C-alpha cells in the first residue's frame, strides 16, 4: 500500500507541471497560428495580384446561315480568309409547263461561280450565268459583326456591291458594252436571334444603264427580307422576298419570292428551293422576275457549295 501511494503521488505532480507548462505556452502557440494564417492569406492575395482578374473576351457569332447565300441573295455569312467557295446553281423550267416538259425538268439554266475570302471581313466573287449569258462580279464587306462578351454587338452589318453584264447577242439593236451593265448595291443588316433563328433586311439600290421603255426607271429601289429557321443540326428552311417600290419597272415584272431547304453534308451544302425567278444574277432576280406564284410560274432549283482552303490563316 505504501508503494502504491508513493507511486501515485509523483504521477499527480508530473501532470500538474505539464498542465502549467501548457498554460504558459498557449499564448505563444496562439500567436504562432495567427501569424501562420495571416501569412497564407497575404500569400494568396499576392498570387491573385500576380495573376490578375480573368479578362472578359469577345466571342463573335457565326453560322447565322449555312452558306454565304440565303437562296439568291447574299446572307450575313462571308467566306473565311484564305477560303475559296465553289458554287454551282441550277434553275429548271416552270412547273406549270406540264408533263410534256416533265414539269420543267427538260429546261434548265445554270450559274457557276467562285467566291474568295481575302480576310474574315472582305469577300470577292465572280460567276457566269447561262441565262442571257450573264457575267457578274462583286465585293462584300462586313464592317460590323455580331458578338457577345466584352464587346456586345446585337447585329451584323454588311455592304455588298455587284456588277452584271449580259452578253446575249441581239439582232434588233446593236448595244454598246456600257449599255449592258447593271450595278447593284445592298446594305445587309441582320441578327442571329437564337441558335435556330436568323433574320436580315436588305435595302437595295439597282442602277440600269439602259431600260426598255421611257416608263421604266434607270434607278430602282427595292426592300428585301430574308430568314432562316433551323430544323435539325444539318437541315434548315430559308426564305427571301423582295418588294419593288411602285412605278419603277415594267408592269409584267413581279416581286421575287424564294423558299427552300439547306442540307449540310460534311464539306458540302445543298440548297433545294422553289422560286419564281429564272435568273441567278442580281439584275435578273431583282428587276427581271416575270413569274407569278399563283399562276404556277415556279422553278425548282438547287445550289451546291464546296469550300477549299487555299491559304491557311496565320497562327495568333
- Examine residue 233 and state whether it is found in any structural domain, yes or no: yes
My answer on whether 181 and 237 are in the same domain is yes
Please count the helices (runs of H) and the strands (runs of E) in the chain: 2, 14
Range of the domain at 47: 17-51
My answer on whether 177 and 44 are in the same domain is no
Domain count, the chain: 2
- Examine residue 186 and state whether it is found in any structural domain, yes or no: yes
Are 156 and 145 in contact by the 8 Å Cβ rule? The answer is yes
Per-residue pLDDT of the chain (316 residues; tens, 9 = 90+): 444 444 444 444 455 554 555 555 555 545 544 554 444 444 454 544 555 566 778 888 988 999 999 999 999 999 999 999 999 999 999 999 999 999 999 999 999 999 999 998 999 999 999 999 999 999 999 999 999 988 889 999 999 999 999 999 887 777 889 999 999 999 999 999 999 999 999 999 999 999 988 889 999 999 999 999 999 999 999 999 999 999 999 999 999 999 999 998 877 889 999 999 999 999 999 999 999 999 999 999 999 999 999 887 666 5
Contacts of residue 67, defined as CB under 8 A and 6 or more positions apart, other chains included, come to 75, 77, 85, 262, 269, 271, 303, 305
My answer on whether 89 and 42 are in the same domain is no
- Examine residue 9 and state whether it is found in any structural domain, yes or no: no
- Examine residue 316 and state whether it is found in any structural domain, yes or no: no
- Examine residue 72 and state whether it is found in any structural domain, yes or no: yes
My answer on whether 39 and 145 are in the same domain is no
Q: The pTM is what? A: 0.80
Amino acid at each position: 500500500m505504501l508503494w502504491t501511494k508513493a507511486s501515485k503521488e509523483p504521477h499527480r505532480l508530473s501532470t500538474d507541471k505539464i498542465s502549467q507548462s501548457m498554460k504558459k505556452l498557449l499564448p505563444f502557440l496562439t500567436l504562432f497560428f495567427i501569424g501562420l494564417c495571416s501569412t497564407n492569406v497575404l500569400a494568396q492575395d499576392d498570387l491573385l495580384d500576380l495573376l490578375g482578374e480573368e479578362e472578359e473576351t469577345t466571342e463573335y457569332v457565326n453560322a447565322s446561315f449555312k452558306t454565304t447565300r440565303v437562296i439568291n441573295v447574299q446572307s450575313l455569312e462571308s467566306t473565311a480568309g484564305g477560303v475559296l467557295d465553289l458554287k454551282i446553281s441550277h434553275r429548271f423550267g416552270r412547273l406549270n409547263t406540264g408533263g410534256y416538259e416533265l414539269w420543267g425538268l427538260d429546261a434548265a439554266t445554270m450559274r457557276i461561280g467562285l467566291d474568295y475570302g481575302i480576310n474574315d471581313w472582305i469577300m470577292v466573287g465572280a460567276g457566269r450565268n447561262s441565262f442571257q449569258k450573264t457575267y457578274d462580279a462583286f465585293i462584300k464587306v462586313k464592317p460590323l459583326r455580331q458578338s457577345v462578351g466584352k464587346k456586345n454587338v446585337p447585329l451584323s452589318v454588311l455592304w455588298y456591291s455587284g456588277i452584271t453584264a449580259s452578253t446575249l447577242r441581239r439582232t434588233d439593236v446593236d448595244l454598246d458594252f456600257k449599255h449592258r451593265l447593271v450595278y447593284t448595291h445592298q446594305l445587309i443588316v441582320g441578327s442571329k436571334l437564337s441558335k435556330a433563328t436568323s433574320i436580315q433586311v436588305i435595302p437595295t439600290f439597282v442602277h440600269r444603264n439602259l431600260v426598255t421603255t421611257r416608263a421604266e426607271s434607270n434607278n430602282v429601289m427595292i426592300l428585301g427580307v430574308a430568314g432562316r429557321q433551323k430544323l435539325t443540326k444539318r437541315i434548315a428552311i430559308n426564305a427571301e422576298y423582295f418588294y419593288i417600290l411602285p412605278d419603277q419597272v415594267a408592269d409584267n415584272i413581279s416581286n421575287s419570292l424564294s423558299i427552300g431547304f439547306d442540307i449540310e453534308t460534311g464539306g458540302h451544302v445543298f440548297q433545294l428551293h422553289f422560286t419564281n425567278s429564272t435568273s441567278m444574277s442580281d439584275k435578273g432576280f431583282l428587276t427581271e422576275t416575270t413569274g407569278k406564284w399563283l399562276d404556277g410560274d415556279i422553278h425548282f432549283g438547287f445550289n451546291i457549295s464546296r469550300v477549299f482552303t487555299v491559304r491557311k490563316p496565320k497562327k495568333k
